[in-house]
Amino acid sequence: MTGSLCRKGEACTENQKRAVKKTDGPLVIVAGPGAGKTRVLVERTAYLVKRKGVSPENILVITFTEKAADELKSRLINCVGLDAELMQISTIHSFCSTILREHPEEHDLGAGFEILDEESQLMFLRSVFYRIGLNSFMKMGEVHEAIEFFNRCTENCVDPDELMEALKKRYPDKKRYHGMAACYSQYLKALREEKKIDFPGLEKEVCLLLKSNEDVLESVRNKYRYIMIDEYQDTSPIQERIFRRIAEPKSSICVVGDEDQSIYGFRGATPENFIRFRDKYDAEVVFLEDNFRSRAGIVLTADRFMRGERHYQKTIKPVRGGGTDVVILRSRDVNSEARNIVSLIKKLKSTGKIPDYGYVALLFRSVRYHADKILRELRREGIPYIVRGDGSFLKRYEVRRMLYFLAYVDPPDYDDKFSGRWGGWWNISMFRGDFLDLGEETLEALESLERDVKLSDFTSIQELEAAGIRGEDAEKILGLNRIRDELEQGSLSVLQTFYRILEVTGYLRRLLLDGSDKSRARIFNLAKLSSLIDKYETIKPGARIQDILWYLYLLPQHLHHDEAVLEDPASVKVMTVHQAKGLEFPVVFICSVIKGRFPGIKRRRKELVPIPQELLLSSGEPEDEDRRLFYVAMTRAQDALIISTAPRINTRKVGISPYITELREKCGIYECECTSIEGCLEREWAEEPLRINFSALFTYEECPFRYMMIYHYGFVYPETFMQRYGIILHRCLEELHLAMKNSEDINGAFIRELVERCWIPMGRDDEVKKRRLERELLNYYHDSRDHIEEVVSVEEPFSIPDDDIIIEGRTDLIIRNSGGELELVDFKAREHGGIERMGLEYQLRTYEYALRDRYNFDRLSAYAIRDSMRMSFDSDPNFTVRERIEETVQKIRSECFEPRRNQFCSRCVFRNFCGV
C-alpha cells in the first residue's frame, strides 16, 4: 500500500498505484464492483497535475452521468484546487457540445443551437409530425417508435440518401420503409431549420467533423492530451470512434470499466468496445480486484455467479470479512412474497440488525410493473419508503387537478378527446378537495346546477350569488373564468396561465403556509410541472394548453416522470436495478427473482424499419444482459443480500428463476432465517454538496423567497425577451473576444456572420432584432479595441468550494487594458441605469475572490452593451466577500427563505405567493 495524493493518511493498493502512475500510452483499468475506481480516477488526475506538471486544460475525463461528473469534479477541487475547473470533466454529450460551440464556423449549426434531450426530442417530433409526413405512416401516439428508428440511423452515421437507396434495393415493395426513410431525411432538415440537435446528432456531428476537418481534429488533439473514460463498457460504436480519433496517434488514453456491469444495450451501448480495447490499442491492463464495499459472502457469491462469463479473467477478492451474508427468501406466490419481504424488514429493524429502515434497498427489474404489491404492504405496515421508477407523476392529486383546471380555462371544447383519461368537462369531483378549497355550501350549489349550465359562462359575482355561490368561492370561480377570457385574447402563455391558476385558487399559497412534508412534496411536483410546460413551450413557441395535454395524454410509459419525493435517510429505497447502478446499500433485497423477470423473456427485437447491415457501424444484436443485470443488483449490497423468489404470480405458475437454482448448486446459497443474518455496520450518511451558480447566490441576496421557489423547489421563471437576448449576446461576445485574442480581422461582415451563427429564434421581428444586436456589437468593438491591449482569458470557469456547497460561475472576459492594468470585465445586456450598483459590485468582487489564486486584478468592470457604458471598481481589500458568502450559504442550508421586498417585486411571478 502507498500513500494517497488526495487523502492524507490513506493508502492505495499496489494495483491502484500502477493505474495512477501509468500515464503514457493506452491503459485499460478493469475495475470490479467496490474496487474504488472513482478514487483511482481522482488520484490519477491529481498525479498528472501535481507530479507530471500537466496543464489542467489538457485533461479530458468522460463520465456516464452528469451526477458522476459533478462528484468527480468536487473531489478534484478538494484535491488539486480550482485548477479542476479548467479540466473538461463531463458526459460525452456535454463534451460534444463543447467541441461544436468552440468551432462554430466549421459546421452548419453555428453557436446558437439548442440541444434536445430525450423528452425534448419527443416534443419536437410531435410538433413537426405533419410537416415531415409521419402522419402517413403512424399515429401520433407511436412517435416514440420513429424516434428509436431515427436515433439508430443517426448513431450509426447513416446517410439518408444511402438509406433510401439500400431500402429500395432490398425491399422494393415496402413503401412504408421508403416513406419512413424520407421522414428521417425531413426530420434532419427540420432540426437544421430550427437550429436544434438531438443527443445522437451531437455525437454524429462531432464524429464527422473530426473526420472531415483536419484543423479541428488537430486543435482537439492538442488540447486534450490525456483522456480518461469511465464506464467504458457502456459506450457505443460512434463514441468509440470519437475517442479513438482524438487519442491517436499518441494514444494517451485510459479507459475504466467492467464488462460484467454492461447493462445499457438498449441504448446502443456494447461491451465490445471495452473487451477489444486491449488488442485494438495494444494496451496495458491493470486489474482492480479488491472489493472494499461488500462482506466476503456477497463478494464470493457474486464472483462465482459470473465466473466463466468473462473475457478479462479476474477474481474479485473481499477486503472485508463476513458470515451468512447472502440468503434466499422463498415465498408461495408474489402476494406472500410482499408480506414476507416486509415482515423480514421489520424483523431486521426490531432485532437491531439495522438501525433504521434507510439501510434497506428493494431492487426490481421494473418498479412500475412489479413493485405494487410490496409497496402496498409497506404502506399497510407504516414503513416509510422512497420510490423511484414508478412513473407516478401524472397520477398525483395536485398534478391532475392543475391539468384539469388548465383544460377548464382553455377555450376549445374537447370533452370527447380526453374523456377516457382526464374525465369530462363537468366533473364535480375536481372542484372538491383543497386545490380550490371551496366551502360545502358552494359544492352543494354546484351539485344542484342543471347539467346544461356551464360554470364557465358565469361572468359576474351577481350571477354566481344567484346560483348559491358566494364570497371567496365566487371570486375563485370568476377568477378562473377571467383567465379563460385572457386566453381567448391571446395574452397568456401556458406557463403564465399555470401561475395565474395557482394565484386565483390560492392553492400554492396554502401549501407554502402549511409547510408539512406532504405539502412540500406537492410543491415540488407543481414545480416539476412548470418545468415540463416551459420545456414544451420552448420547443413549440405559441403552444396551446390542448397541445400540452395531448402530449401528456400520449406520453409513452418509459418517459413518465416519477413524482417528487422528499429525501429521507430513514426510509426504505425502492428502485430499478438500472437506477441502482453506481450506488451501494447496507441491505439489498432483489425482489421477484422469478422466471420471466430474472432472466427476462427473450423477445426478438422489433424494428420499425430494418436498417441494412452494411450501413451500421457495428454488427449483431445486443448481447443478453440479464446475467449482468442480476450481477449488478447483487453487488450493490454492502452487509446483507436477500434474494426473493416465488413460483407463482397470483394463481399462475411461472416457476422460480434459473438463477436461484444456479446459486444453490454453484454457490451453495439456501434459505435461511432472519437470525442468521449478521447486523449491519452503523454508518453516517454523507450529505451531497449543494451546487449553485452565482446567479442563484445573487437571487438569494435579492430575495430568499424567490431563491427558494426557483432553486430549491425548481419552479421555472417565465423567460423574458432580455434573458434570451442576453444568452445570444454572451455567445456573440465569446466568439468576438476569441477572434480578438487571435488577432483576426473584424468588420461589419464578420459581425453579421457572427450574429447569424449565434442567433436563437425569438419569434416575431427576428431580423430587426438581429440588426440591432449587430449595431450594439459593432459599437462595442469600436469602443473597446483601443482599451483592450490583450485578451487574457475568455469565459474562464471558477468555483468557490466550501465544506458542503460549491458555488460555480464563469467570467466573461479578462484583459490587460491600455493602461497596463489586469481587468476583469462582465457584460450586461441592459442599459447601465437598469443595473443595481451594489449587487454588481458584490458580483464582481465575488469573481475576484474566486480567482484570487490565479489573478491579481487591478480593476473590476461591467459593460452595459445597450448604451456602451463602462462601470468600474478599484481593488478594495476591505470588501468582505468570504464572510458574506458564508453567511448566505448558512442561511440557504438552514432554509431561511423569508421574502424580501425590493424593486423587482412588481415584476416577480411569485409576488402573489410570498405574502409581502
pLDDT digits 0-9 by tens, 378-391: 999 999 999 998 88
Average pLDDT of the chain, as a whole number = 90
Structural domains in the chain, sorted by start: 12-102+211-292 (3.40.50.300), 113-193 (no CATH), 319-388+568-614+622-670 (3.40.50.300), 392-552 (1.10.486.10), 692-905 (3.90.320)
Give Cα separations from 476 to 496, 506, 915 (angstroms). Answer: 17, 8, 18
**If residue 573 lies in a helix (H) or strand (E), which one and from where to where?**
strand 572-576
Q: Answer yes or no: is 34 a known binding residue.
A: yes
Give the Cα separation of 393 and 397 in Å (integer).
Answer: 9
Q: Answer yes or no: is 696 a known binding residue.
A: no
Give Cα separations from 774 to 723, 746, 756 (angstroms). Answer: 18, 12, 10
Q: Answer yes or no: is 31 a known binding residue.
A: yes
In the predicted model, what is the mean pLDDT of residues 647-656? 88
- Cβ burial, residue 22 (10 Å; 0-12/13-18/19+): middle
**If residue 652 lies in a helix (H) or strand (E), which one and from where to where?**
strand 652-653
For residue 880, the model assigns a pLDDT of 82
In the predicted model, what is the mean pLDDT of residues 549-554? 90
- Cβ burial, residue 490 (10 Å; 0-12/13-18/19+): exposed
For residue 623, the model assigns a pLDDT of 65
pLDDT bin (cut points 50, 70, 90) of residue 413 is low
For residue 868, the model assigns a pLDDT of 87
- Cβ burial, residue 447 (10 Å; 0-12/13-18/19+): exposed
Q: Answer yes or no: is 640 a known binding residue.
A: no
Q: Using DSSP bridges, classify how beta strands 652-653 and 648-649 pair: parallel, antiparallel or unpaired.
A: antiparallel
Give the Cα separation of 469 and 450 in Å (integer).
Answer: 14
pLDDT bin (cut points 50, 70, 90) of residue 2 is low
The backbone region for 163, taken as left when phi is positive above 0, alpha when psi lies in -120 to 50, beta otherwise, is alpha
What percentage of residues in the chain have a pLDDT greater than 90? 67
Q: Using DSSP bridges, classify how beta strands 114-116 and 11-12 pair: parallel, antiparallel or unpaired.
A: unpaired
First to last CA, the chain: 61
Instruction: Label each residue of 379-444 as H, E or C.
Output: HHCCCCEEECCCCCHHHCHHHHHHHHHHHHHCCCCCHHHHCCCCCCCCCHHHHCCCCCCCCHHHHH
In the predicted model, what is the mean pLDDT of residues 780-790? 94
Is the predicted pLDDT of residue 521 greater than 90, yes or no? yes
What percentage of residues in the chain have a pLDDT greater than 70? 95
Cell 400520449 -> residue: 554
Give the Cα separation of 723 and 707 in Å (integer).
Answer: 17
Lowest mean pLDDT among 18-22, 89-93, 756-760: 756-760
Side chain identity at 482, as an amino acid letter? R
Rg of the chain (C-alpha set): 30
> ω before 249 within 30° of 0 (cis)?
yes
Find how far residue 43's CA is from the centre of its chain: 26
Give phi and psi for 106, each to the nearest 5. -100, 5
- State the maximum Cα–Cα separation within the chain, in Å, rounded to a whole number: 87
309 within 8 A of 652, measured Cβ to Cβ: no
Give the Cα separation of 529 and 563 in Å (integer).
Answer: 10
**If residue 126 lies in a helix (H) or strand (E), which one and from where to where?**
helix 118-127
504 Cβ contact partners less than 8 Å away, ≥ 6 residues apart: 476, 479, 480, 483
Burial profile 204-216: b = 16 or more Cβ within 10 angstroms, e = fewer: bbbbebbeeeeeb
Is the predicted pLDDT of residue 622 greater than 70, yes or no? no
For residue 786, the model assigns a pLDDT of 93
Give the Cα separation of 206 and 874 in Å (integer).
Answer: 43
**DSSP string covering 258-277:** -GGG---GGGT--THHHHHH
115 Cβ contact partners less than 8 Å away, ≥ 6 residues apart: 93, 97, 196, 197, 198, 199, 202
For residue 694, the model assigns a pLDDT of 85
For residue 431, the model assigns a pLDDT of 84
pLDDT bin (cut points 50, 70, 90) of residue 485 is confident
Is the predicted pLDDT of residue 418 greater than 50, yes or no? no
| 275 or 685, greater pLDDT | 275
Q: Answer yes or no: is 36 a known binding residue.
A: yes
Lowest mean pLDDT among 76-85, 461-470, 569-578, 756-765: 756-765
pLDDT bin (cut points 50, 70, 90) of residue 820 is very high
Q: Answer yes or no: is 33 a known binding residue.
A: yes
Question: Which residues are bridge partners to 327 per DSSP?
Answer: 642
Q: Answer yes or no: is 633 a known binding residue.
A: no
Length of the chain in terms of residues written: 916
Span 316-342, pLDDT tens digits: 999 998 777 899 999 999 999 999 999
90 Cβ contact partners less than 8 Å away, ≥ 6 residues apart: 61, 62, 63, 66, 69, 98
Give the Cα separation of 899 and 910 in Å (integer).
Answer: 10
For residue 421, the model assigns a pLDDT of 39
Q: Answer yes or no: is 32 a known binding residue.
A: yes
Side chain identity at 750, as an amino acid letter? F
Is the predicted pLDDT of residue 803 greater than 90, yes or no? no
**If residue 781 lies in a helix (H) or strand (E), which one and from where to where?**
helix 766-784
Lowest mean pLDDT among 170-179, 407-416, 634-643: 407-416
Question: Which residues are bridge partners to 28 per DSSP?
Answer: 255, 285
Q: Pick from 631, 635, 644: which is nearest to 672 by CA?
A: 644
Cell 364557465 -> residue: 456
Going 801 to 807 to 812 to 816, the CA torsion angle's sign is negative
Is the predicted pLDDT of residue 426 greater than 50, yes or no? no
Is the predicted pLDDT of residue 1 greater than 60, yes or no? no
For residue 420, the model assigns a pLDDT of 43
pLDDT bin (cut points 50, 70, 90) of residue 899 is very high
Burial profile 748-758: b = 16 or more Cβ within 10 angstroms, e = fewer: eebbeebbebb
Span 276-307, pLDDT tens digits: 999 999 999 999 999 999 999 999 999 999 99
pLDDT bin (cut points 50, 70, 90) of residue 206 is very high
Is the predicted pLDDT of residue 415 greater than 70, yes or no? no
For residue 760, the model assigns a pLDDT of 84
For residue 281, the model assigns a pLDDT of 94
**If residue 2 lies in a helix (H) or strand (E), which one and from where to where?**
strand 2-3
Number of Cβ within 10 Å of residue 907's Cβ equals 8
Is the predicted pLDDT of residue 678 greater than 70, yes or no? yes
Range among 424-438, 793-807, 855-869 with highest mean pLDDT value: 855-869
In the predicted model, what is the mean pLDDT of residues 158-184? 97
Give phi and psi for 284, each to the nearest 5. -75, 145
286 within 8 A of 262, measured Cβ to Cβ: no
245 within 8 A of 217, measured Cβ to Cβ: yes
Structure-block grid coordinates of residue 318: 473481499
For residue 838, the model assigns a pLDDT of 52
In the predicted model, what is the mean pLDDT of residues 104-120? 91
Give the Cα separation of 772 and 769 in Å (integer).
Answer: 5
